[in-house]
Structure 1
Amino acid sequence: MDVGFSDAGFQTIWANDIDKDACETYKLNHDSQIFCGSIDGALEELSELKDVGCVFGGPPCQGFSVAGKMDAHDPRSKLVWSFMQAVEKIQPQCFVMENVKALAKLAKFEAIRAELFKTAATLGYHTTLLVLNSKDFGVPQNRERMFFIGFRSENDVKQIEQAINNYQCLSPTVGEVIRPLGRAGNPKNARVCNARITNAAKPILRKSPYAGMMFNGQGRPINPDGFASTIAASMGGNRTPIIDEEHLYNGSKSYVESYHSHLMTGGIPKEMYDVPGHLRRLTIDEALLIQTFPSDYIFAGKNSSIWRQIGNAVPCKLAQAVATGVLDVLNGRPIYIQKNQLEMSLVNESN
């Protein structure tokens, strides 16, 4: 999010993370101060910050994620309230809290959402809760995230969704983004994942070849002609997504699609190790580009830590779109509906 907010025109003056490698990564790429440790240990320090335009961040999502236990009592889930305490201490013009879609949509978290709205109102903020998909903002990834946004002015809140949507754009495909790196193992694409790909003895099939579980582990195939599913923090082993290099570089018929068709028509699953050599795992360098990090962004830590940092991140271009919309509202810029959005609206109405 720091990359996106910086690219939008914000100047970050203070940051926080509890992950030591993430803090070192931040120091390698940003000039502002970072406090490494629990945010609860820095709340009093935050009271000293004055004239802040925006407090933004993403409290840990593991307690709310459908990929986890969805436990609101997970200690990490409590950090949404630490975020609100930071807002109370700093009293910014606005705030942006990011988290997983489940927190915004699932009935089991309704009480938490209601308490968030109530807390923000008590602090003097008018708020809205938006769910945005990265693929609508220049990111080659189907990744939905919620943004809880608050402003002092009710009118500002009414404008923020349109202000952000003005920065919607066509996203490139995965192949368009990663193909320039060249094949895995070359100097530009050297940080490979060596986890072996094996066939599942009992495949779980879905309508799409790129869903379900045809291979062992939770690393699903990625269609280079489309968008990736959510890039997860658990990558680095057999949860790392799979790419067909022949499909990616030579435009050959997709093995993933052919094998899926074979299984869907009643074919017998292949032997565990009967997997073509041109199927391989996503690399770190490719995952960085799918998350829209700058190509020269430097990461600290071992590869396992880098995978985690990449997967935990908000796609930079999604963060930039949110931040630019926020900045437009803060600066009082006129918020217009873009021509392509108006045309889409008219088409929908005519249908």
Structure 2
Amino acid sequence: MSNQFLSVKETSELLSCSEQYVRKLLRYGEISGERISSRWIVASESVDQYRCKDDDASVVILDHARRSFSKPTLKALSFFSGCMGLDLGLEKEGIKVLLACEVDSAARKTIEVNRPEMALIGDIRDYSSAAIREKAGLSQTEEIDVIVGGPPCQAFSSAGKRQGFNDERGNVFLTFIDLITELRPKFAVIENVRGLLSAPLQHRSHEMRGKDYPSLSNDEQRGGALLFITRRLKEAGYSFSFNLYNAANFGSPQQRERVVIACSRDGEKLPYLTPTHSEKELYGLPQWRTLKEVLNNLPEDNHHFVKFPEKRLKYYRLLKPGQYWRDLPVDLHQEALGASYYASGGKTGFYRRLAWDKPSPTLVTHPAMPATDLAHPEVDRPLSIEEYKRIQEFPDDWMIAGSLLDQYRQVGNAVPCSLGRAIARMLLAHLNGETPIIYPDFLYSRYHKTDDVSWMLEILGHLEESSGEQLSLNLV
């Protein structure tokens, strides 16, 4: 093939991507070709080389400075960027990301192939604020409009050990807060899991609690980590507001709840995000987007997915869209779940077929794990990576690098683009002096008292009871 040329269409079929993405690779020199009139022809040898490069796990993407000399009006820096769901949301509303920060090798390849002009750095702890500005192509005095980031959430997740800031990943969170206060952007946005609302500043194992041990200190009480973070931001002159948001309320076809902390250097408290959708059409808003709405025009062929074991397919074949293990014949319940049948809880993730007429549940990093199944509504398989991308609202031509499991992990961990867009719209409205739209008593998530005011009153009240001292909101 070394002396042959391919059309854009042929190249897209070889690389399993869209024709638009092939043109992007040509423009950035990732593959070689020649433009004849309005059409490209592609050197087949360069396509072979690109495929080998993409499949080679040993290929290392080095840190590099921004490769573009143009500077947008609104400038953002992104940390813990992953495959850039939050960043794409910002970009769609006109906030340009100049620099991404990511240590995961597959995610770094994703960033590099989709945004090769963007600065890319690795471990946040290896860079000073001055070095970050240099990589982003900014002088030491240029304004940064927005810094966004979702520090590793495992340290605060209720599904893990919840080591908080005792965890190495939790310490990276504190490094991120320090960088915000040093770089001093107009706005900072921090995204994290619901567990951050209850995580302590210092974790004490459950084996060391009870009547035979001292009472929990204030630092060991629930909410201590978020109190510490907000105190640090306030000391640096930043206002803050936060809430727990269900992405479905902002146009995502997925029920995914995330804490979003919005900070402003001008000291004026930022409003909560403005919903665009509602489960029950409250305030005249359209209903949540459904799985069918985003998958209905996705081609049925060329899907890439992991497989269910044959012994589990036996049960899936008995289920219809929206059903799960409890919808199996009763005499099969124990057989299907095995030892998990005796576990507590609703076990709603077992043998779960998604419903066409509802948003997807939260995407996970592997769609075929027994307790968190994400099966196609009708086909006997898990969701494909192509369906994952649609649910997280990535463009079809957005390349996700790495093995199939790498791809699932990246997209499963991403912030839905709609939530990123809602964040951007809120920031832009504040910059433009616009009055925010407020829907009184709107349920942003399925939980109560997750907004900063209600949460702070509850947490400080709990600390007062524990310490016997009267505390004030001024503490934070």
Return the TM-score normalized by structure 2.
Answer: 0.57
Q: CA deviation at 1:141?
A: 1.2
Aligned to 2:194: 101
Q: Note if contact 2:101-2:124 (Cα within 8 Å) is conserved in structure 1.
A: yes
Instruction: Tell me if structure 1 keeps the 8 A contact 2:274–2:436.
Output: no
Deviations 1:171-193 (A, max 9, x none): 3211221232254xx13xx2122
8 Å CA contact 1:131–1:144 kept in 2: the answer is yes
Counterparts in 2 of 1:95 and 1:23: CA distance versus 1, 3 Å: same
Equivalence for 2:295: 178
Q: CA deviation at 1:148?
A: 1.2
Deviation at 1:226, TM superposition (A): 1.2
1:147 correspondence with 2:256: no
Q: Which residue of 1 aligns with 2:382?
A: 281
2:363 — aligned with what? 231
Unaligned runs of 5+ in 2: 1-85, 201-220, 278-285, 313-335, 444-476
Partner of 1:125: 238
Distance between the aligned counterparts of 1:295 and 1:77, measured in 2? 34
Does the aligned pair in 1 maintain the 2:367–2:382 contact within 8 Å? no
Q: CA deviation at 1:336?
A: 3.5
Call closer, same or farther: CA 1:229–1:178 in 2, change over 3 Å: same
Cα displacement (A) at 1:204: 4.3
Offset of residue 40 of structure 1:
0.7
Alpha-carbon distance between aligned partners in 2 of 1:214 and 1:47, rounded to the nearest angstrom: 47
Q: Deviations over 1:223-248 (max 9, x none)?
A: 22212221112446655511231xxx
Q: Are the counterparts in 2 of residues 43 and 85 from structure 1 also a CA contact under 8 Å?
A: no
Q: Runs of 5+ in structure 1 lacking a partner?
A: 246-277, 346-351
1:290-305 residue pairs with structure 2 within 5 A? Answer: 290-305=391-406
Partner of 1:27: 112
Secondary structure at the aligned position of 2:223 is classed as helix
Pairing partner for 1:83 from 168, 176, 194:
176
Aligned to 1:61: 153
Question: C-alpha separation between the residues in 2 aligned to 1:3 and 1:205?
Answer: 43
Give aligned-pair identity as a percent. Answer: 26
CA contact (8 A) 2:247 2:255 kept: yes
2:149 equivalent to 1:38: no
Alpha-carbon distance between aligned partners in 1 of 2:175 and 2:105, rounded to the nearest angstrom: 19
Distance in 2 of aligned mates of 1:146 and 1:22: 22
Structure 1, 90-99 or 43-52: larger mean CA deviation: 43-52
Cα separation, partners in 2 of 1:214 and 1:39, compared to 1, 3 Å: closer
Is 1:201–2:354 an aligned residue pair?
no
CA root-mean-square deviation: 2.7
The answer for the alignment partner of 2:454 in structure 1 is none
For each residue in 1:58-80, what CA deviation from the matched residue of structure 2 results, as whole angstroms up to 9, or x when unmatched? Answer: 10101111232222122112222
1:214 offset after TM fit, Å? 4.0
Corresponding residue for 1:110?
Answer: 223
Structure 2 residue 343 is the aligned partner of structure 1 residue 212: no
One-letter identity of the residue aligned with 1:82: T
Alignment of 1:156-171 (within 5 A): 157=269, 159-161=270-272, 164-165=273-274, 167-168=276-277, 170-171=287-288
- Answer whether contact 1:136 1:171 (CA < 8 A) is retained: yes
